[in-house]
């Protein structure tokens, strides 16, 4: 995350992250969707090779999600704080609260 934040600030040429950041939410979002699909496909692959592929794709999805956080100037601590806020609350209660809000 620190590296990605630095890429967002300095935008060095020859950086894949810079290329993504220059494309903004549309480009990063498209990659996140692609990587999410690849992760889901890999989830049902059998055996050790399937497991390894699944981990590889999870890495890709997390990487691109972190790039979107850097693009939005959001740090991991803020996301961790949001998850901590939810801790101890049932996911079903959280869902009901969201539905009330919308």
Ligand X SMILES: N=c1c2ncn([C@@H]3O[C@H](COP(=O)(O)OP(=O)(O)OP(=O)(O)O)[C@@H](O)[C@H]3O)c2ncn1[C@@H]1O[C@H](COP(=O)(O)O)[C@@H](O)[C@H]1O
**Closest to ligand X by CB, 34 or 78:** 34
Site residues for ligand X, window 42-61 (CB under 6 A)? Answer: 59-60
- 7 contact partners, CB below 8 Å, separation of at least 6: 15, 17, 18, 21, 70
Cα separation, 23 vs 18, whole angstroms: 9
**Closest to ligand X by CB, 52 or 82:** 52
Q: Could you give the string, one character per residue 5-44, with x where binding to ligand X holds by CB under 6 A and - elsewhere?
A: --x-------xxx-------------x-------------
**Closest to ligand X by CB, 31 or 71:** 31
Q: Please report, for residues 4, 62, 89, the alpha-carbon distance to residue 51 in angstroms, rounded to integers and kept in the order given.
A: 27, 16, 31
């Amino acid at each position: 995350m620190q590296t990605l934040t630095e890429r967002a600030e300095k935008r060095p040429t020859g950086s894949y992250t810079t290329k993504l950041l220059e494309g903004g939410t549309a480009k990063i979002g498209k990659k996140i969707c692609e990587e999410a699909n690849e992760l889901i496909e890999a989830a049902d692959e059998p055996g050790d090779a399937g497991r390894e592929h699944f981990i590889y794709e999870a890495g890709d999805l997390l990487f691109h999600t972190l790039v979107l956080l850097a693009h939005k100037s959001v740090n991991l601590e803020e996301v961790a704080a949001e998850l901590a806020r939810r801790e101890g609350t049932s996911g079903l209660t959280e869902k009901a609260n969201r539905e009330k809000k919308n």
